[in-house]
A and B are shown apart, each in its own frame.
Chain A
Amino acid sequence: MSARDDILAAVRAALTDVSPAVAVPEAPRAPDRGDLVALFVERVEDYRAVVTRCNEADLAGVVAGVLGERSSVVPPALGLEIAGSVVDDGLSAAELDAIDAVVTRARVGIAETGTIVLDHQPDQGRRAISLVPDLHVCIVDATQVVADVPDAIALLDPARPLTWISGPSATSDIELDRVEGVHGPRTLHVVLVGP
């Protein structure tokens, strides 16, 4: 027998004493927290990420101000003109390593946990571009913010690769002291667009 058939047969043999049907209790929902966008901002900042709030008209100026003199890369369909920025067309990892910053959109923001989820559509780009540069400027629209994890799961398409980001890269591996900034972007700057 193949390993596959052996393992499946062993699994079936191990479970002859129980019924396969199990009632799964529904996961509870977090209580209503009021202003979701305010909670989202508070929780993102709690991870020592930087949040700037602005309206649509000021967005280009705010992003340019955050980038300053840094070199940057943008996904193919960011929907925002950034002077001097490189548009990703399949840059190599080494080429990305020589770029200081990346600007992307996002798919969902989760208020309860201060999490941003990218689904890497053309307004966010390939996974590599939001990983290798050291500063990630992430534009989140206030309408994209949902209350909690189950709301995000319901909106997201599992067929897409997803990256859930909660603050800058961090580690607690040395004496369980949290330190921001290991391999991923050491600075996460969220620009929250809304009224």
Chain B
Amino acid sequence: MSGGTFVGMPAFPTAAREALGDTQLRSNLAHATRTIRDKRAAVVAEVEDWEDLRLAGAGVKEAALRDLATHLETLEASLVRAGATVHWARDAEEACAIVARLAHAHGVDEVVKVKSMATMEIGLNEALEAEGIAAWETDLAEMIVQLGDDLPSHILVPAIHRNRAEIREIFMRRMGDVGRPAPDDLTDEPVVLAAAARAHLREKFLRAKVAVSGANFAVADTGTLVVVESEGNGRMCLTLPDVLISVVGIEKVVATWSDLDPMLRLLPRSSTGERMNPYTSTWSGVTPGDGPQEVHVVLLDNGRTRALADDVGRQALRCIRCSACLNVCPVYERTGGHAYGSVYPGPIGAILNPLLRGVSDEQTASLPYASSLCGACFEVCPVRIDIPSVLVDQRAAVVDSHRGDRVPKAEAVAMKAAAWAFSDSRRLAWAEKASGLGGRVLRRFGRTTLPGGRAAAGRLPGPGAGWTGARDLPAPPEESFRAWWDRTDGGQNDRGTR
């Protein structure tokens, strides 16, 4: 009951092509992203100095990252002073082992979970299952994904690709296998489905001994963790169990308590499009007589220091996982999240995954190209991550990683040929002549025309297929500018075209 995994996903172009063929998915996504875009735009418009607020939010996160080691040491000391136990994990395997060991130490065979990107990233549920521990997702969307043996497709709303009828079907089919079954008269109204989730999870909340969470922010000077949520499943997990284990990426640190101000104003408006989310919980270690009396914090690297070392890409670590960039992205809106092959889809995923993992595998290396570079993501980002610039830089990283290849890629050969032709005027003139000839052939025999009547090449065979598969290539002009200049003496003897 672990849900699926992204291991072995094909590269983005292949996965995207398949997603585009799914009309149900496309209609679910178009509806959902339009709704959330409109909500965000309305509440952002209410804030007169939104741009200044973004600058403040970006500044808070940037300042924390630039002196991260100091803040992490401060955070650790504050947490320990407040009664928490701090663990450090270099990678996913270490983090999962720490959580499993703590769960075993309390003799439990189940934990309840608050929605957390960090634990999704490290594959905690699968790791715990291998240790005989069931990890129950309690966020409604995460539960839909888990019950459906599915994969998350959005940072905020992991089941965004499912519509109400599909969700009803999953509840009817699967709830009974893992606890209280769905009522027989379950309809597909959202309010009825939410009530079924409430009834199903309540028994799990009431008996849970150990909970696992992430954190939206970790305040260094006070040792405070912050979880921002909507349903109250977070409060249940953070309050009722005896033991709380929070897995926190090292980039979640902010320096001081007052730094939470711009963040708590930026996040809800950017993510769910609300002035404030229904519930935000903050806690600093252990409070005697209130909530979990044993509190653990696992500080996770798992590629973050790799991203931090990238002078262009490190700004991606400012990300607060609001998912505004997904909702405005024309590529994400059409392909959905699964095509990105990661728990971090969309524009932020297209830079975060290569930064965290490197571009040595084909799937990750395909992600920086999963963008039209339109820049909508940068415009909505509450912490001003310049995603288009990082995308371009990561494309360069992908090209650089192939420089030593024994068999060069077609693009590298083309670039080399272009460099050779462009570096000598006679060679360039020859290339222009050849291209003019190609244009004449196309105009004579081509069947594709662009709006305005210009001839174009349709789908080309061979190495050109990748480029022309989704675009028309305009026919090159018969005569180049340089040739025209020579022939007409700079336009003085111009009597029309040849």
Contacts and interface: CB of A to CB of B under 8 A. Distances in A.
Chains A and B bind each other = yes
A83 interface: no
Contacts, number: 254
B378 to A, nearest CB: 18
Contact of A181 (B194, B202, B280): B194
Contact of A7 (B47, B63, B90, B231): B90
A175 B88 contact: no
Given A2-B88, A181-B198, A183-B205, A22 B239 contact: no
Interface in A125-183: 126-128, 131-132, 148-150, 153-154, 158-177, 179, 181-183
B278 A8 contact: no
A175 B236 CA distance: 24
Given A22-B62, A182-B197, A97 B283 contact: no
A167 B222 contact: no
A120 B194 CA distance: 28
Contacts of A31: 48
B260 interface: yes
A57 interface: no
Contacts of B450: none
Contacts of A19: 66
Nearest to A115: B276
A163 B164 CA distance: 31
B32 interface: yes
A112 B478 CA distance: 64
Interface string B422-464: 0000000000000000000000000000000000000000000
Contact of B53 (A7, A10, A27, A181): A27
Contacts of A195: none
B191 A165 contact: no
B120 to A, nearest CB: 15
A114 B275 contact: yes
Nearest to A24: B59
A79 to B, nearest CB: 19
Contacts of A177: 35, 190
Nearest to A165: B279
A106 to B, nearest CB: 14
A126 B291 contact: yes
Contact of A176 (B35, B235, B236, B289): B35
Most B CB contacts (10 A, CB to CB) among A27, A97, A154, A170 go to: A27
B194 A179 contact: yes
A190 B358 CA distance: 51
Given A10-B305, A11-B305, A171 B284 contact: no
Given A25-B56, A131-B236, A93 B205 contact: yes
Given A7-B299, A93-B205, A167 B278 contact: yes
Contact of A175 (B28, B57, B309): B28
A4 B206 contact: no
Interface residues of A, number: 75
B77 interface: no
Nearest to B269: A113
A183 B233 CA distance: 6
A174 to B, nearest CB: 4
B282 interface: yes
A128 B292 CA distance: 11
A171 B94 CA distance: 33
B231 A169 contact: yes
B72 A164 contact: no
Most B CB contacts (10 A, CB to CB) among A163, A167, A175 go to: A175
A183 B231 contact: yes
A113 B157 CA distance: 23
Nearest to B237: A183
B279 A22 contact: no
Nearest to A188: B278
A127 B308 contact: no
Interface of A: 2-4, 6-8, 10-15, 17-28, 30-31, 43, 46-47, 90, 93-94, 97, 110, 112-115, 120, 126-128, 131-132, 148-150, 153-154, 158-177, 179, 181-185
Given A4-B88, A128-B239, 16 more contacts: A11-B250, A11-B308, A25-B52, A27-B262, A114-B275, A127-B238, A127-B239, A148-B265, A149-B261, A159-B222, A162-B281, A164-B280, A176-B31, A179-B191, A183-B232, A184-B279
Interface of B: 28, 31-32, 35-36, 39, 47-49, 52-53, 55-57, 59-60, 62-63, 66-70, 72-73, 76, 82, 88-90, 94, 138-141, 144, 157, 159-160, 163-164, 167, 190-191, 193-195, 197-198, 201-202, 205-206, 219, 222, 224, 230-233, 235-236, 238-240, 250, 257-262, 264-265, 272, 274-284, 287, 289-291, 299, 301, 305-306, 308-309, 311, 314
9 contacts: A10-B308, A11-B69, A13-B309, A22-B59, A27-B53, A28-B48, A163-B280, A166-B279, A181-B198
